[in-house]
Amino acid sequence: MSERFIPIVDRRANPVPPIPADAGPATGNLADVRGRRVRDLRISITDRCNFRCTYCMPKTVFGRNYPFLQRQELLSFEEIVRIARVFVAHGVEKIRLTGGEPLLRRYVENLIEQLAAIPGLELTLTTNGSLLARKARDLKAAGLHRVTVSLDALDDATFQAMNDVGFPVGQVLAGIDAAAAAGLSPVKINMVVKRGTNESSILPMVRRFKGSGHILRFIEYMDVGSSNGWCLDEVLPSAEVVRMIDAEFPLEPIDPNYPGEVAERWRFRDGSGEIGVISSVTQAFCATCTRIRLSTEGKLYTCLFAESGHDLRTLLRSGASDADLSAAVAGIWRGRADRYSEIRAAATARPDAPTRRIEMSYIGG
């Protein structure tokens, strides 16, 4: 279903860097100033979520009166697909739909169907799993290849404390089962590990999913945005997670699936599957990062830890041609020099360090 849009003035206060106008046509294999190729486009299709996870959208900030975007501010499906085609022409091979919670966006299956028609594209989606059981078959039928499900614990007390809306684990597990049954596999399951909160859930998660065909991944608690009260003391290094698992279920390292893969892969020595760890805090992978992010209302962010983005929506709605859009996208990536995780300590210690960064719920993980 198409979505009608109404051009409006952007209501967000952050300044937006100008879009370069002289970047040239699409060439594929677009590289930034550090030689990193653009490969992965993550598209946030809603800034809303039905969870209030304490590390992402805490109730103290995202309360009942929080000013979420209005429908006319969101990119329409046609606008999203147009941008996606430009990025594919520049070398993007994978698109991941994120949020917020992307399954809250009405008619998301129609968007997936349009994106799936782009040749040679891997299409995935990250979800909290709350609506997955009822939507898995339709998502697969629309052309989605895989899903990643966020699940931070198996016991209800811990999980409900973290999602902070009392949502039960059982319904997320049902969504994972439905996704696998629909053919959205292998299902990847992401667990954000926060020291003092859910590290006791690591081994139970491994026991539950080992041998299931799913891929369990452990993510270090990151300082994304400025709402989650991040503290370095609450980061459990991935190396400790691997040691903990290896002591009960022997592991061995394996090569990445592709250049720039953010998860470090480990397989069980008994051949019963693999896990991954994502170590943005303790083992920065900026040097091989191939990701770029499109926000819900059309700003392009070249880093998860960015302070501001580049406004593509105004360009789209002012009558720009595909060549104009392509040139803008190319110029943004070619000028990219981000390496926040490599310089985290120095960046946060600066007297002029920004007090606010883009929230994970706004541009996806």
Lateral strand order in the sheet of 264-268: 251-254, 264-268, 274-278, 215-220, 188-193, 146-150, 122-127, 94-98, 40-44, 291-294, 299-301, 310-311
pLDDT band at 351 (very low <50, low <70, confident <90, very high): low
Say yes or no to pLDDT of 39 above 60. yes
Instruction: Decide if pLDDT at 340 tops 60.
Output: yes
pLDDT over 80 at 26, yes or no = no
Query: Which residues contact residue 184 at a Cβ distance below 8 angstroms, ignoring those fewer than 6 apart?
Result: 136, 139, 140, 144, 145, 146, 147
The contacts of residue 27 (CB under 8 Å, 6+ apart) are 90, 330
Contact 7, 259 (CB under 8 A): no
User: Structural domain tally of the chain?
Assistant: 1
The SS3 call for residue 98 is: strand
**Assigned domain for 331 exists:** yes
Residue with the larger pLDDT of the pair 22 and 191: 191
pLDDT given at position 349: 41
pLDDT digits (tens, 9 = 90+) for 103-152: 999 999 999 999 999 999 999 999 999 999 999 999 999 999 999 999 99
Residue 75 lies in a domain: yes
Assess whether pLDDT exceeds 90 at residue 228.
no
Domain-embedded: residue 214: yes
Q: What is the pLDDT of residue 265?
A: 97
Strand partners, 124: 96, 146
- Determine, yes or no, domain membership for 171: yes
CA 215 to each of CA 29, 274, 322: distance values in angstroms, whole numbers, following the listed order: 29, 6, 38
Q: What is the pLDDT of residues 166-214, one digit of tens each?
A: 999 999 999 999 999 999 999 999 999 999 999 999 999 999 999 999 9
Per this entry, what is the length of the chain? 365
Which residue matches tokens 């991941």? 96
pLDDT for 365:
63
- Note the pLDDT of residue 114: 98
Question: Can you give the residue range of the structural domain that contains 54?
Answer: 40-363
CATH for 286: 3.20.20.70
Tell me whether residue 27 is in a domain.
no
The pLDDT score that the predictor gives to residue 83 is 97
pLDDT over 80 at 257, yes or no: yes
Which tokens is 43 given? Answer: 């598209």
Task: Report DSSP state, residue 31.
Answer: B
Question: Can you give the pLDDT at residue 19?
Answer: 42
Q: Is residue 1 part of a domain?
A: no
Average pLDDT, the chain: 87
The values of phi and psi at residue 203, to 5°, are: -65, -40
| Residue 345 pLDDT > 50 | yes
State what percent of residues in the chain have pLDDT above 90: 71
Residue 249, pLDDT above cutoff 60: yes
**pLDDT on residue 15:** 39
